[in-house]
Copies of this chain bind each other. A is one copy, B any other.
């Protein structure tokens, strides 16, 4: 089995790659292609004989035969919410146009014995506006930011290409994934990692929203497990073509900081300073944070049980990032 990950040099892509190389259910992973516009910095992945790295613009890579011999795709590459809100054209090109080019390339794979399986990472950011108490998979998304609008349009394309038999597509909506390692990114949700990661590294961090803001989060390990389950589940069991909300944790930002305090002490937690940012507060405050993920749970998918587990996972996985 040969698999492509777009956004393969990103944090989630690398985590997924490591997991796929460790263990793919009932299949032998022959080749894993990590495509990204950014170069891959991960010696272990680069050293694996099954891994190929493809660096460059997705459409150029597709034109150069990126999909040749691929059985499946995890499509994670995207412009993040902050970038999309700042420049709608950047978002439309990176998210909508590139996804469509990828789907058309999947459809054109020569000698495919079956439609390529494609897992698309969508986001809770499709939601906003007037919402019910708890979001379900059939709640109408009313995107209040361009990133969410573009992700939701991609879900429609993927559902229609699947219906036509061009691909076997599954869209999953990820909660905000935290704690992300490394540098902050341009996502409006970036602070949800920063307020844990920076204090643990001995660095001050800003919380740009009211700490009473509720958020819907998951950990890297649970996010990767959800993506792999979306790939592994047989089509008849996956069922509906509408996007699936992956399980997560409903938590207030204050409780995230409290978990940090429980783990690392008062002095570390005190490194978080609240300084409201209107744009970020508006975007993040407009996202829902209570979900009923019955469909995903019926497939056995789970989210983290508590914020303490998320902090513990980060400390275990990135000990070098903790002072």
Interface residues of A (CB under 8 A from B): 88, 92, 100, 129-130, 138-144, 146, 149, 152-153, 156-157, 159-161, 163-164, 240-242
Beyond A88-B164, A164-B88, is A143–B157 a contact (Cβ under 8 Å)?
no
B130, B138, B160: the one contacting A143 at CB < 8 Å is: B160
Shortest CB–CB separation between residue A107 and chain B, in angstroms?
A: 9
B92, B138, B143, B156: the one contacting A149 at CB < 8 Å is: B156
Q: What residues of B have a CB within 8 angstroms of the CB of A141 in the complex?
A: 140
B143–A242 touching, CB < 8 Å: no
Q: What residues of B have a CB within 8 angstroms of the CB of A149 in the complex?
A: 156-157, 159-160
Q: What residues of B have a CB within 8 angstroms of the CB of A161 in the complex?
A: 88
Instruction: Name A138's closest neighbour in chain B (CB-CB).
Output: B140
Shortest CB–CB separation between residue A284 and chain B, in angstroms?
A: 16
A142–B242 touching, CB < 8 Å: yes
Tell me which of A130, A146, A159, A160 has the highest count of chain B C-beta atoms within 10 A of its own C-beta.
A160
Q: What residues of B have a CB within 8 angstroms of the CB of A242 in the complex?
A: 129, 140, 142
Q: What residues of B have a CB within 8 angstroms of the CB of A160 in the complex?
A: 88, 143, 146, 149
**How long is the Cα–Cα vector from A152 to B143 in the complex, in angstroms?**
13
**How long is the Cα–Cα vector from A64 to B179 in the complex, in angstroms?**
51
